[in-house]
Structure formats: structure tokens, C-alpha cells
Structure 1
């Protein structure tokens, strides 16, 4: 699916993959005259609760976008993510079926010359600049903590049996800590958000190769296909935001 505004073209895909019965990922975007918002979430919880949590997260962010304006973008973005957290936490207390549900969230807002990114969990945001890819977000996961402590290497982390355990999520407690990043958009050609259904099985270099090899929606389609080929057992969602050439 392609969406376009004055400066950026956005392509997205969200599929359940080959092993899950339902798709607990949820993606969305919104555009205004001088800004673009991308958001991706990966839900967790039994009895379809993950599907509900991720949808609440994305829809809450999108409904708040009109209030996110300079010069306090970071502050307003944190407020929006915390609001989503509160909505999910409240919903989880209404039924035993929803108890303990949660979701990751990764948000990117492009305003004028800057890109603002918020992250909770292990969904990721990458940017491509000068034909090189950089991972902007840092996973809130058990494996990342083990890598940071030196207990395991990054290569060992890719095949660690606990790589799906996250240490921070929306909806699992009344409050949540939100990571915020601000980067200059100069020379950035692509922004890519994805859930761990892709990032757990593809290297940064493999993702970059696909970004460089295909146009628009074909990037999302080929990341999905490649993730399946590499054995992904999860839902797979990708948003690509590409600057006008």
C-alpha cells in the first residue's frame, strides 16, 4: 500500500506469516502539511489480546497527532505514548481475557528537517544515509541486556532461545519509560520501521540490500518474503518511508 505527501512516500505491509493464526501487529500513518507520522506495534497476550493492544496503541497515537507540534515534539511524543500505555492498561483490567496484554511501539515523526523517534519494546527503526544503514532504536529485550553486559555476543544473541523476551512494553504497568531520539533528516533517503518478525531473522545488511535493490512497495514485499525464507515464525510488519527523488 502506498501513501504520499509533499515530501515522503510511504509503503507498508503487515501479514500474519506462515505460523501464527492471527496478526497481532498493527501499523498506521498520518500526514499533515509539514509532518509525517509512522507507527508500528507488535502485540502480545493470549486470547487475541495482543491484537487488541497493538490496535489501541496505534489508534491512540494517530488520534493524538494533531497535538504534536514544534517546539516540544519530544515531550508531546512521550505524552502520546504514555497515553497509549494508559489506555491498554485500563483495557487489560476490564476482562480476564485481556489481563497482562501489552505491545511494543515504535513511532517516527518527520517534521521539517528533523526525525523524532519513540520506542518501547523491540520493534525497530532504521535509517539509510549515504547508502549505509543505521539502527536508531535499541531493543528492550533480555537478549539486548545480555549483549550489553557482555554475557553473550551479538552473534550469539541472534540465535539465543530467549530472544523473544522483551523487558519493556506498553500496557503491562501503569507507567512506562519511553526512549526518544532526534536526528537530522539531511541526506536520509529511507526510514524503515519493522517488527521482530523481520529483524529477528534478517541482518542489517540484508535489510539494506533489499532497500537498495527495489522500489517502493517492493521493498516491503521482499522483506516479508525474505523473512519467511529465513524461517520467521512471527507476524511480519514493515513500513518504509522514502524521500522524494
Structure 2
């Protein structure tokens, strides 16, 4: 049976935590990084998590890519409805990275710049693609990955949940192998901790690898909210 660890932290700079993380049975994990003025980002990420859980729990299993995609679309509708009712929430939105596993298969749905990684046999692979301005620059060759990490517009998203009536959602699946580890994280982790450091921590003996990753991001400065969900397969 897989072991799931989740940790979220406000970091060392931000006044509030707009990130959310959740693991619920059987075999679903998700992270969300909210955005918006006042406490609106907090509202958007909380609505995302609540709606996805409610939607999936009401739908027959097994949950496939389309199930996860429909759950994220339901959250998009819920966030837009909340924003239309409360002016202070206008313009809010959130990232969404959802992962579900059953038997030997993992499926995922993704919007924004939170990430899903697969750590297998000592190698860390980024499964999802960031929906961000700088990722577009990297893809067309304008800048390198190293330059993207320090680009002044690295936090500008090209897709988010709850911003427009229709949301484009990436989905995918992969076979789960014995000994695999899956990581879901917000950019508060990946902007502060290198892939090499992440791989080292995931391969280590930390009792709670999610907490260890968050602690590492805080030790590096904790400039944003930090969230990590780690799923270890025996």
C-alpha cells in the first residue's frame, strides 16, 4: 500500500498561506496555489480542493483522466460563481495539480505552475508542464531553464482555474512501478529547492519527506507559501 505525506507552510515572507494540499482515500492527492487580492487566493484554492474532493467522491471509481478533468472544471465553475457573488474575490484563481492512483496506474490533471514529478530509480522527472509566461520563453528557445528560475515574470501564469469560463486542462497517465515516488508541489518549493536537492531528499530516510522538502525551502529563504505532497509506492 502506498504511503502519502502532505505538508503546507506559509513560508518566511508571506503573511498568509494561499496554498492548499489534500490526500483522500482511495488514492487521490492534489495541490493548489491560490492567487488574488485580499484573501481571495486563499478562497480560490480552498474551493478547488473542496470541489474536487466532493466531485470525485460522488463519481464511480476508478477515476480516469476525464474524471479528474471534470472535477477541475467543476471547481472552475464554483470559483467563478463565488467571485461573481463577492466583489472582493473578483479576479481570484488557483493552480490545480491532481493525481490519482489505483493498482499499477497513475492518472493526473493539471493547470498552472504547480508541478507533478515522478522519482524513479534515482531520477527525477517533471511530468507536468508549467502554464506560465517564462515556460513559453523556454519552449521557443528565448531563455534557458536557468534563466527562467530568476526571470522577473516567472510568476505570470498563462492558465489558471477560476479565471475564465472555459479552462484548458492537461491530463495524462503513466504506469506505476515498484519503488516509485510521486511528488506534487507548488512553486514555493520548486523556486527555492533545486531538482538535485529534491531528488536527494526523496531518496533519503526522512520520516516525513513532505515536511523535509518544506523545511529545505524555508531554509533557502521561504519566499513564498510552500506545499509538497509525496506518495511513496512500496
Q: Matches of residues 116-131 of structure 1 in structure 2 within 5 Å? A: 116-131=107-122
What's the counterpart of residue 91 of structure 1?
82
1:115 has 2:109 as partner: no
Match of 1:55 among 43, 46, 60: 46
TM-score, scaled relative to structure 2: 0.96
Is 1:191 the counterpart of 2:182 in the alignment? yes
Gaps of 5+ in 1: 1-6
Match of 1:13 among 7, 31, 35: 7
Q: In the alignment, which residue of structure 2 is the partner of 1:240?
A: 230
Counterpart-to-counterpart distance in 1, 2:6 and 2:65: 25
The two structures, once aligned, show a CA RMSD in angstroms of 1.2
Unpaired runs of 5+ residues, structure 2, are none
Per-residue deviation, residues 124-146 of structure 1 (Å, max 9, x unmatched): 11111112111101100011001
Specify whether residues 211 and 13 from structure 1 end up closer, same or farther in structure 2 by C-alpha distance, changes over 3 A only. same
Q: How many residues align?
A: 233
d(CA) in 1 for partners of 2:159, 2:224: 19
**Whole-angstrom CA distance in 1 between matches of 2:35 and 2:66:** 27
Moved over 4 A (4+): none
SS in 1 for 2:113: coil
- Aligned equivalents of 1:208, 1:194: Cα separation in 2: 13
Distance in 2, Cα, partners of 1:43 & 1:138: 18
**1:25 pairs with 16, 19, 27, which one?**
19
Partners of 1:178 and 1:52 in 2: CA distance = 21
Q: 1:230 is matched with which residue?
A: 220
